[in-house]
Amino acid sequence: MAIEFKDSKTKENLMRAFAGESQARNRYTIAAETARNQKMYAISQIFLFTADQERAHAKRFYDLLKNLSGATITIDGGYPVDHYDRVVELLQSAEHNEREEAEDVYQNFGNAAKEEGFLEVASAFFQIAKIEAVHAERFGKLANLLETNRYYECENSEEWMCLNCGNIHHGKMVPEVCPVCREERGYFIPLELAPYMEPAIYKSVSKNA
Ligand SMILES: [Fe+2]
Ligand SMILES: [Fe+2]
């Protein structure tokens, strides 16, 4: 039986998703400030980078509601209070929320949209679920490195990138200040987690340097 969009569960789920993405964007922006205050500049940048992607998700869901412009959609929903002073807890809670979206919430929303016959919406939920899984993975790795004191040092030689100047440092430990730009070590990030380029590209560049 065909369901009209204005009477659908899908329109409510889109509004729930818009609310959830909007809140995630703000939570990450606030988390970025906390990380920055603790001199974890690279982690702060990752929160901002991710916040901007949540804005893009919010926009996609909001665009799919465009036909209902002028209407008010009333929803209920649960939203997390993840206001922590420790960056590791901010990362862990972010990982948890991203995973829940990826594996549970957006799968259910996608299936419901499919059942109601809104295939474009269903595909947006499934596509964005995949991105949230990548977010979860990245936040989880960072949380784990911080928690086990392996963010700035490791047993075997590794590589880190200074996100301020792009310097790639090889060794067992990140120096107190970047030897190139002289900024604090908080700008360094393990190279595999630097989000701006393919690691393979970094490697060939750094080998030739
Ligand atoms: Fe998102
Ligand atoms: Fe996300």
User: What is the pLDDT, as a whole number, of residue 208?
Assistant: 45
Amino acid of residue 109: F
23 and 120 both lie in a single domain: yes
Instruction: Check which CATH number belongs to the domain holding 163 and give it.
Output: 2.20.28.10
Question: In whole angstroms, what is the distance from residue 16 CA to residue 172 CA?
Answer: 45
Burial of 82 (0-12, 13-18, 19+ CB in 10 A): middle
Range of the domain at 158: 153-208
Question: In whole angstroms, what is the distance from residue 46 CA to residue 53 CA?
Answer: 11
- 10-residue mean pLDDT profile of the chain (209 residues): values are 91 98 98 98 95 98 98 96 97 98 98 98 98 96 96 91 94 96 96 68 48
60 and 118 both lie in a single domain: yes
User: What is the pLDDT, as a whole number, of residue 60?
Assistant: 98
User: What is the pLDDT, as a whole number, of residue 53?
Assistant: 96
22 and 123 both lie in a single domain: yes
Question: In whole angstroms, what is the distance from residue 43 CA to residue 41 CA?
Answer: 5
User: What is the pLDDT, as a whole number, of residue 201?
Assistant: 45
pTM of the model: 0.91
Taking the CA of 125 as reference, the closest ligand is 1
Between the CA of 36 and the centroid of ligand 1 the distance, in Å, is 22
Under a CB-based contact definition with an 8 Å cutoff, are residues 145 and 128 in contact?
A: no
Between the CA of 119 and the centroid of ligand 1 the distance, in Å, is 19
* Number of Cβ atoms within 10 Å of the Cβ of 33: 13
Strand ranges (E), the chain: 153-162, 168-173, 188-190
139 and 193 both lie in a single domain: no
Question: In whole angstroms, what is the distance from residue 110 CA to residue 25 CA?
Answer: 21
How many domains in the chain?
2
Between the CA of 208 and the centroid of ligand 2 the distance, in Å, is 35
User: What is the pLDDT, as a whole number, of residue 197?
Assistant: 53
Between the CA of 132 and the centroid of ligand 2 the distance, in Å, is 4
